[in-house]
């Protein structure tokens, strides 16, 4: 029978406490804060009056004890379960069947992440923290070699983690490749490198690099350029607190206080173009999936969850829980279905809850915009009517979920624009209409 020494329990409590406290802390302004000039656009948004996103509320676990640090991919959620009796386990939960299972560990397990059938987590041992990966299908464990390694984030075959073995004052970020069994450092300096997040397919890792804990932080990214080879670069300058990054492999999101208060920023990795979401008050914990950015925003005293749609530039309210703050939230969009998991103070202890929702459609807005664009051209009535009727037919097909028919009407629209280019339409008008219609086809997922 396993014993659970008090010293490990204390360590665990401290880690759990630290982890929750770190996310709740009011950010300190850095005395070294300097302007960072990479923001290419600012979008001003208000949480007051934001439309409510229709969602279905789901309970992941509301048992006695603290359920925290949830992570989600499609219908699978992992989280830490501290039973208040000195036992901390990692659970994995199937949101469809409701099946809730425990990762077999030493009962001093915490800080997990989930990808496909695998759950990565931290196991606290006498000799130091270790990172382990449990395969829920084969029920087998993989142990990342080395001690003093913790806080893993898994995507595909790549597990990024914090390596505290070199210096407790200068943790580094490294990855473990489950295919090859090799550990590769992503950082090697005298700075604080921590909180890594891996993209779903393992091709991008982002993390915080700070001059000291919580002081002068930048967001760094390592991008896989050829198989197994990661190239590291700074996404932001090291000033103020640019931190808590997350990536879906295409976009990195993070918060920064460089404008004077915390806002959410996002950056397209391929171009480096950065957008600031200027929202009054404090925002934290941004995550991104399927062009939707989820974050927590403080209204009066408590935090609620909001979603920003990058495609439509619309902001939606997700939760409205006065006096109670959602925390540690994470979004995942899977086959057009979105889910956000979060931890929340329940009846005496933290619980893990979730909401699920349909990804908002942007196609109606795009068709309206295309019709307005066409109206602005003052075309001959016959041309306008012919083109408008194709868009209306496309919209009718979309309303009856007949995407294939909608796509064929949009193709007929672009064909007619091309045929009329230089005739009833100027070549510039034709190009604009074709590009807009092609954007709609992309939104619909036309082949
Ligand atoms: Ca703000
Ligand atoms: Ca609870």
pLDDT score recorded for residue 401? 83
Neighbours of ion ligand 1 (CB under 5 A): 261, 263, 279
Residues 285 and 331 occupy one common structural domain: yes
Condensed to tens digits (0 to 9), the pLDDT of residues 62-108 reads 999 999 999 999 999 999 999 999 999 999 999 999 999 999 999 99
pLDDT score recorded for residue 31? 32
Residues 320 and 400 occupy one common structural domain: no
Residues 147 and 270 occupy one common structural domain: yes
CA of 68 to the centre of ligand 2 (A): 9
What integer is the mean pLDDT of 278-291? 96
Nearest ligand to the CA atom of 259: 1
State how far the Cα of 154 lies from the Cα of 168, in Å rounded to an integer. 23
CA of 28 to the centre of ligand 2 (A): 30
What integer is the mean pLDDT of 353-365? 91
What integer is the mean pLDDT of 237-259? 92
The region of weakest confidence among 37-46, 317-326, 352-361 is 37-46
CA of 370 to the centre of ligand 2 (A): 49
In a domain, 108, yes or no: yes
CA of 354 to the centre of ligand 2 (A): 14
In a domain, 1, yes or no: no
Condensed to tens digits (0 to 9), the pLDDT of residues 398-429 reads 888 899 999 999 999 999 999 999 999 999 99
In a domain, 346, yes or no: yes
Residues 377 and 318 occupy one common structural domain: no
Condensed to tens digits (0 to 9), the pLDDT of residues 5-14 reads 333 444 444 4
Residues 142 and 284 occupy one common structural domain: yes
CA of 316 to the centre of ligand 2 (A): 27
CA of 320 to the centre of ligand 2 (A): 20
What integer is the mean pLDDT of 152-171? 96
Q: In which band, very low, low, confident or very high, does the pLDDT at 40 lie, cut at 50, 70 and 90?
A: confident
High-pLDDT (> 90) share of the chain, %: 80
- Residue where a domain terminates, one of 306, 324, 358: 358
Residues 401, 441, 396, CA angle at the centre, nearest 5°? 35
pLDDT score recorded for residue 400? 85
CA of 279 to the centre of ligand 1 (A): 4
pLDDT score recorded for residue 361? 84
Residues 262 and 158 occupy one common structural domain: yes
Nearest ligand to the CA atom of 279: 1
Q: How many domains does the chain have?
A: 2
Residue range of the domain that includes 426: 363-444
CA of 236 to the centre of ligand 1 (A): 18
- Residue where a domain terminates, one of 310, 326, 358: 358
Residues 65 and 103 occupy one common structural domain: yes
**β-pairing, 39-44 with 274-278?**
parallel
Residues 345 and 368 occupy one common structural domain: no
CA of 96 to the centre of ligand 2 (A): 21
Is 178 within 8 Å of 157 (Cβ atoms)? yes
CA of 223 to the centre of ligand 1 (A): 29
In a domain, 53, yes or no: yes
Residues 23 and 155 occupy one common structural domain: yes
High-pLDDT (> 70) share of the chain, %: 91
Nearest ligand to the CA atom of 343: 2
CA of 282 to the centre of ligand 1 (A): 5
CATH at 108: 2.120.10.30
pLDDT score recorded for residue 15? 44
pLDDT score recorded for residue 75? 97
CA of 304 to the centre of ligand 2 (A): 19
Over 90: is that where the pLDDT of 125 sits?
A: yes
pLDDT score recorded for residue 38? 63
Using alpha carbons, select from 40, 23, 22, 48 the residue that is nearest to residue 306.
48
Of the two residues 17 and 241, the one the predictor is more confident about is 241
CA of 150 to the centre of ligand 2 (A): 24
Is 329 within 8 Å of 409 (Cβ atoms)? no
- Residue where a domain terminates, one of 308, 333, 358: 358
In a domain, 330, yes or no: yes
Over 60: is that where the pLDDT of 332 sits?
A: yes
In a domain, 81, yes or no: yes
Residues 188 and 98 occupy one common structural domain: yes
pLDDT score recorded for residue 1? 38
Using alpha carbons, select from 392, 375, 355, 394 the residue that is nearest to residue 432.
375
As a whole number, the mean pLDDT across the chain is 90
Burial, 371: exposed, middle or buried (Cβ in 10 Å; 0-12, 13-18, 19+)?
Answer: middle
Q: What is the pTM of this model?
A: 0.82
Condensed to tens digits (0 to 9), the pLDDT of residues 220-246 reads 999 999 998 999 999 999 878 889 999
Give the distance from CA 227 to its chain's centroid. 24
In a domain, 343, yes or no: yes
Using alpha carbons, select from 379, 380, 437 the residue that is nearest to residue 409.
437
What integer is the mean pLDDT of 376-388? 93
Over 60: is that where the pLDDT of 375 sits?
A: yes
pLDDT score recorded for residue 443? 85
Residues 108 and 47 occupy one common structural domain: yes
Residues 316 and 411 occupy one common structural domain: no
What integer is the mean pLDDT of 364-368? 86
Over 80: is that where the pLDDT of 445 sits?
A: yes
CA of 254 to the centre of ligand 1 (A): 12
CA of 119 to the centre of ligand 2 (A): 21
């Amino acid at each position: 029978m396993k014993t659970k020494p008090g010293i490990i329990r204390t360590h665990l409590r401290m880690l759990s406490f630290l982890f929750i406290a770190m996310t709740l802390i009011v950010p300190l302004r850095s005395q070294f804060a300097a302007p960072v000039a990479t923001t290419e656009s600012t979008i001003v948004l208000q949480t007051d009056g934001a439309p409510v996103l229709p969602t279905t509320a789901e309970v992941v676990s509301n048992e006695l004890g603290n359920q925290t640090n949830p992570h989600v991919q499609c219908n699978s959620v992992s989280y830490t379960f501290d039973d208040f009796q000195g036992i901390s386990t990692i659970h994995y939960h199937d949101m469809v069947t409701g099946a809730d299972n425990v990762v077999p560990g030493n009962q001093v397990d915490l800080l997990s992440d989930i990808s496909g059938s695998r759950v990565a987590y931290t196991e606290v041992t006498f000799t130091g923290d270790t990172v382990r990966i449990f395969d829920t299908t084969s029920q087998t464990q993989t142990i990342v070699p080395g001690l003093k390694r913790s806080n893993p984030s898994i995507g595909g075959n790549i597990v990024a983690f914090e390596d505290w073995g070199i210096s407790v004052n200068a943790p580094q970020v490294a990855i473990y490749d489950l295919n090859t069994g090799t550990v590769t450092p992503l950082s090697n300096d005298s700075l604080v490198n921590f909180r890594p997040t891996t993209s779903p397919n393992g091709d991008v890792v982002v993390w915080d690099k700070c001059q000291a804990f919580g002081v002068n932080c930048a967001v760094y990214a390592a991008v896989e350029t050829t198989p197994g080879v990661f190239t590291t670069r700074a996404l932001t300058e090291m000033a103020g607190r640019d931190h808590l990054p997350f990536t879906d492999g295409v976009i990195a999101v993070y918060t920064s206080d460089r404008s004077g208060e915390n806002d959410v920023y996002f950056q397209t990795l391929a171009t480096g173009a950065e957008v600031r979401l200027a929202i009054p008050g404090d925002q934290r914990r941004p995550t991104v999936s399927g062009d939707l950015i989820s974050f927590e925003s403080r209204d009066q005293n408590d935090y609620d969850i909001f979603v920003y749609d990058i495609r439509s530039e619309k902001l939606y309210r997700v939760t409205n829980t006065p006096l109670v703050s959602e925390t540690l939230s994470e979004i995942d969009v899977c086959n057009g279905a979105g889910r956000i998991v979060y931890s929340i103070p329940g009846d005496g202890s933290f619980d893990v809850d979730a909401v699920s929702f349909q990804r908002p459609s942007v196609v109606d807005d795009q068709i309206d915009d295309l019709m307005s664009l066409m109206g602005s051209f003052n075309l001959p009535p016959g041309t306008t009517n012919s083109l408008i009727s194709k868009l209306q037919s496309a919209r009718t097909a979309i309303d009856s979920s007949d995407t294939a028919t909608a796509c064929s009407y949009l193709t007929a629209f672009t064909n007619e624009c091309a045929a009329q280019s230089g005739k009833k339409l100027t070549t510039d008008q034709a190009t604009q209409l074709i590009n807009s219609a092609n954007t709609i086809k992309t939104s619909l997922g036309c082949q």
